[in-house]
């Protein structure tokens, strides 16, 4: 028998090891490539329930969502004034948002726009997407491989959709809640989210929520086109927190309108708007403060002084601010009365 030199044995051993390593790497790469077809870093697992809806009176359009996923609003909700809104979820392909809005802006119906994107998406079976345009038309897709329970329901001016739910009653409950709810668009879509949670919602629980409302007609000024854009990124009761933020948002909307009224010297209108703001957010010092400043401008000192005294006792910085308002022209008051204010 021919003897092999030690160096030859080592060479054969190393060669065999290298072949095994190459084979392992090849299998690993192939497996990763196949996996990548189903999950990409850009396609997060945002399983959730959502609603896209339009207010038939104002024309405003909304998309709202809740999920057991951090910052769900940054992934699912898209909208553009005068065009429409999009909810893209399940194994999310975020491009459905901007691309869908672009296609609808170019004149495609929601159905045409959604179908165009689905036909070019190898992962369409994992997608759940809803499009709504500014005339209230909707299109919805629930892929065949969305995790159960999954489904959607369309109605006049809305679509509700959900996946990875504990129960298959979620989307019907959302639809009924939206159709029967009273109030403005934010209240009606919030009712739909609450209805989903009442049906036990996401099988994993709850973590974040969001609402985006855009105008039915673009104003030409992007900063005026968004009616509401609120997110609860991480909270044990995200819908409850979202409801609180919506209420505060409306209060500050009254405040902003009150400020504009003050700018043009309409103090009576400003007073009414500040009072509306306080009704929604009664414990907020700033809302009480600007109401009191407006009372000073109206020379209603008997009402203004007690309010300001309470505010100054809680935070003296408001007293410092009051003196500065005279220079800016937002407070018109005689020096003698200003001195009295400073003594409060």
pLDDT of residue 49: 96
Task: Say whether both 232 and 270 belong to one domain.
Answer: no
pLDDT of residue 44: 64
* Alpha carbon distance 277, 255 (integer Å): 6
pLDDT of residue 267: 83
Task: Say whether both 177 and 275 belong to one domain.
Answer: no
Task: Say whether both 191 and 225 belong to one domain.
Answer: yes
Global pTM value: 0.83
Please say whether the beta carbons of 308 and 292 come within 8 A.
yes
Which residues of the chain are under the pLDDT cut of 70?
1-46
Please say whether the beta carbons of 65 and 76 come within 8 A.
yes
pLDDT of residue 21: 43
Task: Say whether both 208 and 275 belong to one domain.
Answer: no
Integer-rounded Cα radius of gyration of the chain: 29
Q: Is residue 160 part of a domain?
A: yes
Task: Say whether both 310 and 232 belong to one domain.
Answer: no
Rounded-to-10 torsion of CA 302, 307, 308, 314: 150
* Alpha carbon distance 155, 86 (integer Å): 16
* Alpha carbon distance 80, 313 (integer Å): 45
For 183, the domain range is 45-236
Phi-psi region of 243 (alpha: psi -120 to 50; beta: other; left: phi over 0): alpha
For the stretch 53-62, pLDDT in tens is 999 999 999 9
Task: Say whether both 56 and 163 belong to one domain.
Answer: yes
Sheet with 158-162, strands from edge to edge, namely: 151-155, 158-162, 48-54, 61-67, 208-214, 226-232
Task: Say whether both 275 and 206 belong to one domain.
Answer: no
Task: Say whether both 276 and 170 belong to one domain.
Answer: no
Task: Say whether both 202 and 287 belong to one domain.
Answer: no
Q: Is residue 34 part of a domain?
A: no
Among 187, 204, 236, residue at a domain's last position: 236
Q: 335: domain CATH number?
A: 1.25.40.10
Q: Is residue 27 part of a domain?
A: no
Before 298, cis peptide (omega within 30)?
Answer: no
For residue 78, the cross-strand partners are 86
Q: Number of structural domains, the chain?
A: 2
**Which H, E and C letters describe the chain, residue by residue?**
CCCCCHHHHHHHHHHHHHHHHHHHHHHHHHHHHHHHHHCCCCCCEECEEEEEEECCCCCCEEEEEEECCCCCHHHHEEEECCCEEEEEEEECCCCHHHHHHHHHHCCCCHHHHHHHHHCCCCCHHHEEEEEEECCCCEEEEECCCCCCCCEEEEECCEEEEECCECCCCHHHHHHHHHHHCCCCHHHHHHHHHHHHHHCCCECCCCCEEEEEEECCCCCCCHHHHEEEEEEECCCCCHHHHHHHHHHHHHHHHHHHHHHHHHHCCCHHHHHHHHHHHHHHCCCCHHHHHHHHHHHHHCCCHHHHHHHHHHHHHHCCHHHHHHHHHHHHCCCCCCHHHHHHHHCC
Task: Say whether both 304 and 211 belong to one domain.
Answer: no
pLDDT of residue 66: 95
Q: Is residue 19 part of a domain?
A: no
pLDDT of residue 2: 42
For residue 210, the cross-strand partners are 65, 231
Task: Say whether both 333 and 197 belong to one domain.
Answer: no
């Amino acid at each position: 028998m021919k003897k092999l030199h030690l160096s030859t044995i080592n060479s054969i051993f190393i060669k065999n090891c290298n072949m095994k390593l190459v084979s392992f790497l090849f299998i690993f790469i192939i497996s990763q490539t196949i996996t990548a077809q189903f999950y990409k870093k850009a396609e997060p697992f945002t399983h959730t329930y959502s609603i896209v809806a339009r207010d038939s009176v104002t024309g405003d359009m909304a998309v709202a969502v809740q999920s057991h996923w951090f910052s769900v609003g940054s992934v699912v909700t898209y909208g553009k004034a005068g065009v429409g809104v999009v909810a893209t979820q399940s194994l999310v392909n975020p491009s459905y948002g901007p691309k869908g809005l672009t296609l609808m802006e170019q004149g495609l119906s929601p159905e045409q726009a959604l179908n165009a994107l689905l036909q070019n998406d190898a992962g369409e079976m994992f997608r759940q997407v809803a499009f709504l345009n500014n005339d209230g038309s909707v299109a919805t897709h629930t892929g065949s491989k969305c995790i159960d329970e999954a489904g959607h329901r369309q109605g006049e001016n809305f679509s509700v959709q959900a996946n990875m739910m504990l129960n298959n009653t979620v989307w019907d409950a959302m639809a009924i809640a939206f159709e029967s709810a009273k109030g403005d668009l934010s209240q009606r879509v919030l009712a739909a989210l609450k209805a989903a949670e009442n049906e036990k919602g996401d099988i994993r629980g709850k973590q974040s929520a969001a609402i985006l409302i855009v105008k039915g007609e673009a104003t030409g000024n992007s900063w005026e086109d968004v009616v509401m854009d609120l997110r609860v990124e991480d909270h044990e009761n995200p819908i409850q927190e979202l409801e609180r933020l919506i209420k505060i948002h409306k209060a500050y909307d009254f405040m902003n309108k009150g400020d504009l009224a003050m700018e043009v010297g309409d103090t009576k209108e400003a007073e009414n708007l500040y009072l509306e703001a306080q009704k929604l957010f009664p414990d907020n010092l700033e809302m009480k403060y600007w109401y009191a400043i407006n009372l000073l401008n109206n020379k209603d000192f008997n009402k203004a002084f007690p309010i300001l005294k309470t505010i100054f006792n809680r935070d003296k910085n408001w007293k410092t601010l009051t003196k500065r308002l005279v220079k800016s022209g937002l407070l018109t008051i005689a020096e003698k009365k200003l001195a009295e204010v400073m003594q409060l």
